[in-house]
């Protein structure tokens, strides 16, 4: 009887379907804290991971420099790019934009509280720094002689702290977090921002079938209050009074 039971159990295990692991998509990530963190609990971490899960996917992020990352995504060496402005699919035709925005970015100028909040047309009046590969800044600063491009954000804010540039162009929340991390004081993110842009996920065209699934997931998460939860956990702490 025991031998028959073992035989029956073995045959049952053979016919039972195995639960396949979800496909893993590897996207480039140009974000820093508080959007993405090493512990994967940043604002974008929480939202993107959940959206991919609802679409039946697993998300893995890599950190190539912005310019190289989007080139690699367009070439198919990566599965996409996590967060970019609209319109890049015209320049990178192998990329498909998920039509529902993931979030808004506040493209801001960081400087001293005494300096005036700059406008695009006034950026050529003083020394300005930005990160190479951030298309919105590269487009607006084309032809500006005193614009300095760097590879990484810490370099940018070191230039600002040492007063080698008058304005550092970056994203508001990430700049506030980085200045706190680097213990840089005496600078603010000017308000209003230079621009506020909707930011989108881009996938390589071989993943076209996943685009509507991700869009629906983001719509549903906004309606369910998931975004509010992520905001309170990851961004709201940076609204506490702090001197930079």
Tokens of 62: 């890599």
Q: How many CB atoms lie within 10 A of CB 29?
A: 22
How sure is the predictor about 158, in pLDDT bands with cuts at 50, 70 and 90? very high
User: What pLDDT sits at residue 18?
Assistant: 55
* Domain at 105-195: CATH architecture: 3-Layer(aba) Sandwich (3.40)
∠ CA 49-55-60, rounded to 5° = 35
Single out the residue of 17, 15, 19, 43 nearest to residue 29, CA to CA: 43
% the chain with pLDDT above 70: 90
Single out the residue of 172, 199, 196, 215 nearest to residue 81, CA to CA: 199
pLDDT in tens, 172-211: 999 999 999 999 999 999 989 999 999 999 999 999 999 9
User: What pLDDT sits at residue 153?
Assistant: 93
pLDDT in tens, 206-236: 999 999 999 999 999 999 999 999 999 999 9
| Residue extent(s) of CATH 3.40.190.10 domains in the chain | 22-104+199-236, 105-195
User: What pLDDT sits at residue 163?
Assistant: 94
Q: For the whole model, what pTM was predicted? A: 0.79
State the number of CA atoms in the 13 A half-sphere of 36 facing the CB. 16
CATH, domain 22-104+199-236, list 3.40.50.300, 3.40.190.10, 3.40.1260.10, 3.40.50.10300: 3.40.190.10
How sure is the predictor about 106, in pLDDT bands with cuts at 50, 70 and 90? very high
Burial class (CB in 10 A: 0-12, 13-18, 19+), 130: buried
User: What pLDDT sits at residue 131?
Assistant: 93
**H helices, E strands: number in the chain:** 9, 10
């Amino acid at each position: 009887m025991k031998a028959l039971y073992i035989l029956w159990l073995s045959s049952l295990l053979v016919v039972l379907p195995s639960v396949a692991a979800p496909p893993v998509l590897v996207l480039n990530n140009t974000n820093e804290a508080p959007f993405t963190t090493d512990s994967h609990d940043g604002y974008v971490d929480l939202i993107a991971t959940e959206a991919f899960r609802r679409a039946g996917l697993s998300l893995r992020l890599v950190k190539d420099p912005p310019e190289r990352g989007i080139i690699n995504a367009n070439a198919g060496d990566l599965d996409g790019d996590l967060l970019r402005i609209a319109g890049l699919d015209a320049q990178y035709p192998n990329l498909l934009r998920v039509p529902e925005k993931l979030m808004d970015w506040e493209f801001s100028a960081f400087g001293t509280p005494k300096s005036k909040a700059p406008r695009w047309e006034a950026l050529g009046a003083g020394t300005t720094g930005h990160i190479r590969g951030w298309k919105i800044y590269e487009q607006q600063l084309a032809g500006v002689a005193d614009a300095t491009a760097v590879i990484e954000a810490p370099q940018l804010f070191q230039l600002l702290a040492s007063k080698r540039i008058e304005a550092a162009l970056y994203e508001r929340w990430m700049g506030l977090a980085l200045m706190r991390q680097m213990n840089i004081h005496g600078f603010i993110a000017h308000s209003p921002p230079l621009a506020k842009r909707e930011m989108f996920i881009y996938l390589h065209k071989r993943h076209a079938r996943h685009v509507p699934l991700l869009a629906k997931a983001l719509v549903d998460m906004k309606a369910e209050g998931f975004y509010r939860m992520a905001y309170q956990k990851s961004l709201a702490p940076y609204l506490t009074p702090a001197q930079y």
